[in-house]
């Protein structure tokens, strides 16, 4: 194999010191496998051990609120792996940051690391390329709930809509059974602050300790489930990665690095990188539980084990205050009534979601807008994220460039924090599989709460009802107010309104 020293020097050096078509019917002839136990001799285990010894039975977590730090953390974990990498995502783009991560996975496999990649099959990818990657003796690729029609996916929905409309929305990375990352981010430039057009402000956690076996069990459950199909079952002809492909891949990545040179140069200057280099990285610690849907949810949603029901039980324990962040917020009439009852009992409710201009799915906004007035009448605090490019702050999980909120979290009584993939909408509740981590840490909860509150005037509009009972948007940073959806064109407002009268709420 041709050495790739220039590529590594340009990008991986700073992070290597991290602490740590036809129609196919998927077959069930696959070999089950389980997560590898943590090896105390691995590099990451040696770094983690002092932390874990000082906090037995607890979970340590470092918040990844910045897109660049989130990319750095993933890349560094993969580059530091000695034994195993398990990766599970809904979206995995074919762009600069995604390609760099894929190359790091390949390099890990080359040095003997077992790599398992589980991707939802909604995103169209090159099957032959994925199969070539999976042909490596140390790499397995499986697709969750795959389309049987590989050439024209749209045709697959005909006659099979109910199944294909249900997707795996889970997001997790576990390395050497020692460190893990989970939260709201997919894999792609827009999630790692590397896209000049739009930045999905997101939030996930770098974790170690008691939560890791739980993450591994979740991955194994999905990996060995019936809906997870080996990529080889879906492809007719494929060949192992050739030297010509590797040379082309390296050239493409080198070009990506040169294109993203300012971005790459900033990685070693990030606060996370500096804390790693001077060994000053500290974690929050607390009890943590992983909650997730069973993979069989895609076949039948009427299941008592749904994450929705677990979250309902958790939220019902709120005593005084609930702070909810959800980019795609469609509370439904039933949910709106429940929130109203909670507010009437004296619970302070704050909801942050996307504005029409910042929402990348206007149909979602059209149905959310139907419930805004009822929420405001119940004295629920309602905020919508600004999309204005001028409202930009470096390393903000509320986004930059064209802002679009993608983080999914809630805070209960400034004590507990939930971080995961679950949107408060019918799709997350009944169609997609979801997961998330509930952390019991008053210190972390207070820091997250204060951080959001501090920046809300700059990054959100505050909604209220005027004397006539109409919604008004207040920009507390500028003192301006608006009587219609801010920053949204007339045509966008019309499209959202029209979506709100279509019978599609249960699909959103």
Q: Are the C-beta atoms of residues 125 and 213 closer than 8 Å to each other?
A: no
Q: Which residues pair with 363 in a beta bridge?
A: none
Catalytic residue among 86, 127, 176, 189: 176
Q: Which residues pair with 140 in a beta bridge?
A: 116
- Out of 3.30.870.10, 3.30.420.40, 3.40.30.10, 3.40.1360.10, which CATH number does the structure's domain 293-507 have? 3.30.870.10
Task: Look at phi and psi of residue 164 and say left if phi exceeds 0, alpha if psi is from -120 to 50, else beta.
Answer: alpha
Annotated catalytic, 334?
no
Q: For residue 467, what pLDDT band results from cuts at 50, 70 and 90?
A: very high
pLDDT tens sequence across 290-320 = 999 999 999 876 666 789 999 999 999 999 9
Annotated catalytic, 171?
yes
Residues with Cβ < 8 Å from 58, sequence gap 6 or more?
209, 210, 285, 286, 287, 288
Judged on CB neighbours under 10 Å (0-12, 13-18, 19+), 451 is: middle
Q: Is the dihedral of CA 318, 320, 323, 326 positive or negative?
A: positive
Q: Which of 211, 209, 179 is nearest to 437 (CA)?
A: 211
Q: For the chain, give the mean pLDDT.
A: 87
- Out of 3.40.50.10070, 3.30.870.10, 3.30.56.10, 3.40.50.1220, which CATH number does the structure's domain 44-277 have? 3.30.870.10
Catalytic residue among 66, 79, 120, 171: 171
Catalytic residue among 408, 416, 475, 487: 408
44-277 and 293-507: identical CATH topology: yes
pTM over 0.75: yes
Q: How far apart are CA 131 and CA 125, in angstroms?
A: 11
Q: Are the C-beta atoms of residues 194 and 97 closer than 8 Å to each other?
A: yes
The pLDDT assigned to 9 comes to 34
Q: How far apart are CA 115 and CA 132, in angstroms?
A: 14
Q: Are the C-beta atoms of residues 180 and 59 closer than 8 Å to each other?
A: no
The pLDDT assigned to 333 comes to 95
Q: What angle do CA 294, 295, 301 make, to 5 degrees?
A: 70
Q: Are the C-beta atoms of residues 371 and 336 closer than 8 Å to each other?
A: yes
Torsion of Cα atoms, 381 then 386 then 391 then 396, to 10° = 70
Report the b/e string of 369-402 with b at 16+ CB within 10 A: bbbbbebbebebbbbbbbbbeebbeeebbbbbeb
Element (H, E) at 198: strand 198-201
Q: Which residues pair with 183 in a beta bridge?
A: 204
Q: What 3-state class would DSSP assign to 166?
A: coil
Catalytic residue among 413, 446, 447, 476: 413
pLDDT tens sequence across 120-175 = 999 888 888 888 889 899 999 999 999 988 877 778 888 889 999 999 999 999 99
Q: Are the C-beta atoms of residues 452 and 352 closer than 8 Å to each other?
A: yes
pLDDT tens sequence across 69-91 = 999 999 989 999 999 999 999 99
pLDDT tens sequence across 170-224 = 999 999 999 999 999 999 999 998 876 778 889 999 999 999 999 999 999 999 9
Question: Where do the domains of the chain lie?
Answer: 44-277, 293-507
Structure tokens, 183: 């939260």
State the greatest distance between any 2 C-alpha atoms of the chain, in Å, as a whole number: 72
Catalytic residue among 107, 406, 416, 487: 406
Say which range, 186-190, 259-263, 345-349, 410-414, has the weakest mean pLDDT: 259-263
Annotated catalytic, 136?
no
Q: How far apart are CA 179 and CA 44, in angstroms?
A: 8
Catalytic residue among 79, 107, 169, 365: 169
Annotated catalytic, 360?
no
Instruction: Flag whether pLDDT at 19 surpasses 90.
Output: no
Q: For residue 407, what pLDDT band results from cuts at 50, 70 and 90?
A: very high
């Amino acid at each position: 194999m041709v050495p790739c020293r220039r590529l590594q020097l340009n990008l991986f050096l700073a992070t290597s010191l991290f602490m740590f078509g036809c129609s196919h019917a998927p077959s069930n002839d696959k070999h089950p496998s389980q997560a590898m136990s943590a090896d105390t001799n691995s590099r990451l285990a040696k770094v983690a051990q002092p932390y874990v010894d000082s906090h037995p039975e607890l979970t340590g977590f470092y918040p990844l609120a910045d897109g660049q730090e989130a990319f750095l953390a993933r890349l560094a974990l993969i580059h530091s792996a000695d034994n195993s990498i398990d990766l599970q995502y809904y979206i995995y783009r074919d762009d600069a940051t995604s390609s760099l991560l894929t190359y790091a996975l390949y390099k890990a496999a080359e040095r003997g690391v077992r790599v398992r990649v589980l991707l939802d099959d909604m995103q169209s990818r090159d099957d032959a390329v994925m199969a070539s990657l999976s042909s490596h003796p140390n790499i397995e690729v499986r697709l969750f709930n795959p389309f049987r029609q590989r050439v024209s996916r749209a045709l697959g929905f005909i006659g099979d809509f109910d199944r294909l409309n249900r997707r795996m929305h889970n997001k997790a990375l576990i390395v050497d059974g020692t460190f893990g990352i989970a939260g709201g981010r997919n894999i792609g430039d827009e999630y790692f602050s590397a896209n000049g057009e739009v930045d999905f402000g997101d939030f996930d956690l770098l974790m170690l300790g008691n939560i890791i076996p739980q993450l591994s069990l979740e991955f194994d459950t999905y990996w060995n489930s019936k809906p997870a199909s080996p990529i080889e079952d879906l492809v007719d002809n494929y060949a192992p990665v050739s030297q010509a492909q590797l040379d082309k891949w390296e050239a493409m990545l080198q070009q990506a690095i040169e294109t993203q040179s300012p971005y790459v140069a900033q990685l070693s200057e990030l606060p996370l990188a500096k804390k790693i280099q001077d060994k000053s990285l500290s974690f929050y610690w607390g009890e943590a539980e992983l909650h997730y849907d069973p993979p069989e949810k895609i076949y039948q949603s009427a299941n008592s084990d749904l994450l929705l029901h677990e979250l309902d039980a958790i939220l019902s324990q709120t005593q005084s205050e609930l702070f909810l962040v959800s980019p795609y917020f469609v509370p439904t009439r039933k949910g709106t009534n429940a929130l109203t009852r909670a507010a009437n009992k004296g619970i302070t409710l704050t909801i942050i979601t996307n504005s029409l201009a910042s929402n990348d799915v206007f149909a979602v906004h059209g149905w959310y807008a139907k419930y805004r007035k009822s929420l405001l009448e119940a004295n629920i605090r309602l905020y919508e994220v600004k999309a204005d490019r001028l409202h930009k702050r470096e390393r903000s999980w509320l986004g930059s460039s064209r802002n679009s909120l993608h983080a999914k979290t809630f805070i209960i009584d400034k004590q507990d924090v939930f971080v995961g993939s679950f949107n408060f909408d019918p799709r997350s509740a009944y169609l997609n599989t979801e997961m998330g981590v509930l952390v019991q840490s008053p210190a972390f909860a207070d820091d997250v709460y204060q951080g959001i509150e501090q920046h809300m005037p700059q990054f959100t509009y505050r909604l209220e009802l005027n004397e006539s009972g109409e919604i008004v948007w207040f920009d507390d940073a500028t003192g301006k107010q608006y009587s219609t959806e801010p920053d949204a064109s007339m045509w966008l407002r019309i499209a959202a309104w029209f979506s709100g009268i279509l019978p599609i709420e249960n699909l959103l």
